[in-house]
Structure 1
Amino acid sequence: MTLPFFANPDAAGNQLPIAMAHRGFSLEGLENSKAAFRAAVDLGYRYLETDVHTTSDGVLLLFHDDTLERVTDGRGKVSELTAAEVARVNIGGREPVPTFDELVPELPGIRLNLDVKDWSSVNSTAAAIERHRVHDRVLVTSFSDRRRRAVLKLLSRPVAASAGVTSIALFTCLGPLLPGPAFRWLMRRVLSGVHALQVPARRGGIEVVTPGFVRRAHGLGLAVHVWTINDPAEMRRLLDLGVDGLVTDRGDLLKEILVERGGWPPGPPA
C-alpha cells in the first residue's frame, strides 16, 4: 500500500479511505462515458474505476462489455470492430465511447483502476500506460490472474495491482482454515506483485469481507477495496470494518457519508 496510487491523505497527512467512482458517475446509465467520468471528478472524486477493451486495430477503449448492444446504439463485438466503427456509436444514444488516449490528458492527476477484460487488451493496456507515463496513476486488475500478470510483465516500472478471482478465492477460503504462519507464507507466494484485494462484500451466500478477512489482508500489507456498494448503510458498515476503499455507482451518497465522517480528501487531485 506504499505505492503512489494508494496515497489519499487528509490535510494532516493521515490516510483516508479511497472513494472510487464505478465507471464514473451517471444516474442516467451513461457508464464509462466522458460525461460520467467528468461528473465524478466534478463531485471531487480522485479515483475512477473503469474497464478496457481493444478494437481490431489496437485502440484501447474504456468500455465494460465485449459487445456494444447493452449500453450503446450500435451492434457488434468490440474486438472485431475498428476504432472508426466504434466512434460512430454512442453510449445511451448520446455519448461516444472514450479511448484511453483521450481521457488521460483531459483528467490530469486522476487515478484509474483499470480492469483488463480480455487477452487482446494486454499489449494495448501496457502500451498505453507506457505511452502516457501514468505508472503512478493506475491500478491494473483483472478477473484473470494470468492476464494481470501478463500486463505487468510488459511495463518498465511497477504499478499497483489487484488480485484475480483464483487468488482471492484461495485467500478467502484458506484464511480461516490455515494456521497464521502457514497462511501468510502461502499467500506471499500466491499474491506476489499484488497490492490490493478488490472484492464483493459477499458472493453466493458467503460473507467475503469479514473482520478476519480485513485483518489478514492488512497483516500482509494489502488494501481491501469492496465493490460495488450503493447502499448507505452498507457503506457505513464496511467503513467501520476498516476497509481501505469502496467502489460505488452512487458517488453522491458515498461522498456524503465520507464528508460526515471526516473522510473526504481536501482540495483538487494532485
Structure 2
Amino acid sequence: MSTDESTQHPYLAGRARPRIIAHRGFVSSELAAIGVAENTRAAFTAALAAGADCLETDCRLTRDGVVVLAHDADLTRVANDSRAIAQVDLAELDEIFAARGGLLTLERALTEFPRAHWNVDVKSRAVAAPLGRAVAPHGARVLVTSFSDAYRRAALAAAAAEPRATLPATSPGKRALVRVLLAVASGAPRVIERAFAGLDALQIPERHGRFRVLTPRLIAAARAHGVEVHVWTVNDGQRMRELLAMGVDGVVTDRTDVAVAALRSR
C-alpha cells in the first residue's frame, strides 16, 4: 500500500496492511464487567483473538526494578490504589492484578506471546535502559516509541548495546515529530530526508488541538521515505475506512472488534 517492503524493518515487512494496533489490548464490555483491566494478559489475549496485528502497550519500572506493562504512573485508575508503580514490588503487583486480568512484565509478554508484534511506549527515564535490554533479543517484532525522544533513544541505545541484538523499529517522539512536520512544510528534499532518517513509522493523532497533524502531504512524504503512518486513537469504523482511503497504513484503536469489522470485511 505505501512502502517498499524490501527496505522495511522486520517489524513491518512481509505483514498485511492495514495494521490494526490494539491500544493497551482489548477490553470488551464483557471483560470490563468482570474487572479485567487494560494492559493485562487477558486484554492482550482478547486483542489477538479479535484479530489485532500489533499490541500497543506502555512500560513502567517497579520498586524492585522490573519492567511491567502499565500506562499510568500510579494505580489509582486501574486498581483504586493511590501508590505509584515505582513504590510497589512485582510480587505485590502480581497480587493486585490477579483478579484484573493478570499482570505482565515485559519479559513475560515477549515470551508468553512469542508470535505477537509489540508496540512499546517508554513512559519514564528510569525504565528506558532495562526496557531496551529486554527487547533486544526480540527486536524484529518490537517497535519502541515515546513522547520523549530522550527516553526513546535511551531505550534504543540500550538495545543496541546488547550482544546479538536486533534493533527495534521506532516512531518519533514530540520533538522528532515536529522536525518531520517542519521539514515536510519546507519542501526541501534534503531536510525532509534527514527528518525521516532512522524512523520506521509515524504514530500520530489526526490533530493536536486546532493543529492538523495528519495531512495528505505528510502521508506522501512518509510513503516516499519508506515510513508507515499509524493514526491514534481511532474507535469509529467509518473514520477508520476514511483514514485508510487517505493512505494511512494502520490505526491504533481501543476497539479491535470494530477495526476488524471495518477494515477486514471490505
Do they superpose with TM above 0.5? Answer: yes
Amino acid at match of 2:124: D
Structure 2 residue aligned with 1:171, among 158, 177, 180? Answer: 180
How high is the TM-score relative to the length of structure 2?
A: 0.88
CA distance in 1, matches of 2:82, 2:107: 23
- Superposition deviation, residue 7 in structure 1: 2.6
Could you say which residue in structure 2 is the equivalent of 1:266?
none
- After TM superposition, the structure 1 = structure 2 runs for residues 113-192 of structure 1, keeping only pairs within 5 Å, are 113-130=119-136, 133-155=137-159, 156-176=165-185, 178-181=186-189, 185-192=190-197
Could you say which residue in structure 1 is the equivalent of 2:244?
239
CA RMSD of aligned residues (A): 1.8
SS in 2 for 1:4: coil
- After TM superposition, the structure 1 = structure 2 runs for residues 1-270 of structure 1, keeping only pairs within 5 Å, are 2-9=8-15, 15-27=16-28, 28=32, 30-90=37-97, 94-130=100-136, 133-155=137-159, 156-176=165-185, 178-181=186-189, 185-261=190-266
Could you say which residue in structure 2 is the equivalent of 1:264?
none
- Superposition deviation, residue 231 in structure 1: 1.0
Amino acid at match of 2:121: D
Relative to total residues, which structure has the larger helix share, 1 or 2? 2
- Superposition deviation, residue 95 in structure 1: 2.6
CA distance in 2, matches of 1:85, 1:214: 45
Deviations 1:126-173 (A, max 9, x none): 12113xx21101000000111111111122332200000111123224
Deviations 1:85-126 (A, max 9, x none): 3223138x6333221122222212100000000011112101
* Structure 2: gaps (5+ residues): 1-6, 160-164
CA distance in 2, matches of 1:205, 1:44: 33
Amino acid at match of 1:110: A
Amino acid at match of 2:47: A
Q: Which range moves more in the overlay, 70-79 or 238-247? A: 70-79
Could you say which residue in structure 2 is the equivalent of 1:267?
none
SS in 2 for 1:226: strand
- Identical pairs, percent: 37
Counterparts in 2 of 1:41 and 1:35: CA distance versus 1, 3 Å: same
Q: Which range moves more in the overlay, 247-256 or 216-225? A: 216-225
SS in 2 for 1:87: helix
- Superposition deviation, residue 217 in structure 1: 1.3
CA distance in 1, matches of 2:221, 2:94: 45
CA distance in 2, matches of 1:173, 1:143: 18
Counterparts in 2 of 1:121 and 1:187: CA distance versus 1, 3 Å: farther
CA distance in 2, matches of 1:96, 1:17: 29
- Superposition deviation, residue 191 in structure 1: 4.0
CA distance in 1, matches of 2:20, 2:187: 33
Deviations 1:160-208 (A, max 9, x none): 00000111123224423x1332xxx224334432211100011101221
- Superposition deviation, residue 79 in structure 1: 1.6
- Superposition deviation, residue 8 in structure 1: 4.9
CA distance in 1, matches of 2:194, 2:60: 29
